[in-house]
A and B are shown apart, each in its own frame.
Chain A
């Protein structure tokens, strides 16, 4: 008698209608997809940008906590955000935030049961990419104008 070590086995092993045991196929993983086609590339990018925004959230917490802690802590945080690495990181995170927001709208649209036709899917996919570039540029333009 052996215990099941992987919980998924309980769902992946079943019986055919004639009673014989069958190991059902697992859902496909990354290696089966052509990563250069828009559908899978944008899908995995949505996941990656979601995880990357955790770093943005840590930065936001740092900024807020530093502001609450006092002027010297705030100036320390602002020194980092204003440094070369800080600005580069914030620029990246702006693009990440806009991508995840726009791709999220696309996902909500899909959740309503619409937009699954291949031409529509490519159209909305391109719109997400162009929108990300445009909104990232706009955000940094606003920042630059305020700064000057």
Chain B
């Protein structure tokens, strides 16, 4: 292997500052765990709840969503799930997308899409429930 060269006057410390873990420490990793623990009971509830209403009419579905218990759990699920989804997709991009411009661009698209989807679903639940 050819001997590598560094053609820069910046010190090694200066070059790594602001990169890697220095950006956010373990916050990303920890929040992914926190949301996954929150999603565990919420997902089990949601999957079985939806499985029990395959032929629900519009009236039945809106009455089910409007129930305070269901509405609160749905809002909690949406918040935790979109947080977890944005963080998870961020890992994909950081691992597989090369080039800072593409990477930052893809991250902004993913975060924006997750935020808009979360906002839409949350507004829908609130509009039905309130």
Contacts and interface: CB of A to CB of B under 8 A. Distances in A.
Interface string B1-23: 10111111100100110011000
Given A3-B8, A146-B51, A147-B55, A67 B124 contact: yes
Contacts of A105: 40
Instruction: Report the contact-size class of chain B (Cβ under 8 Å from the partner).
Output: 35 or more
The binding surface of chain A is classed by DSSP as: helix
A44 B84 CA distance: 18
B52 to A, nearest CB: 5
Given A94-B47, A108-B37, A64 B82 contact: no
Interface residues of A, number: 49
B81 to A, nearest CB: 6
A74 B7 contact: no
B85 interface: yes
A139 B65 contact: no
Nearest to A97: B47
A123 B52 CA distance: 32
A133 to B, nearest CB: 15
Interface string A31-52: 0000000000000000100110
B100 A7 contact: yes
A80 interface: no
Interface string B36-67: 11011001100110011111001001100100
6 contacts: A1-B8, A21-B3, A64-B125, A64-B128, A111-B33, A143-B51
Interface of A: 1-7, 10-11, 13-15, 20-23, 47, 50-51, 53-54, 57-58, 60-61, 64-65, 67-71, 74-75, 94, 97-98, 101, 104-105, 107-108, 111, 139-140, 142-143, 146-147
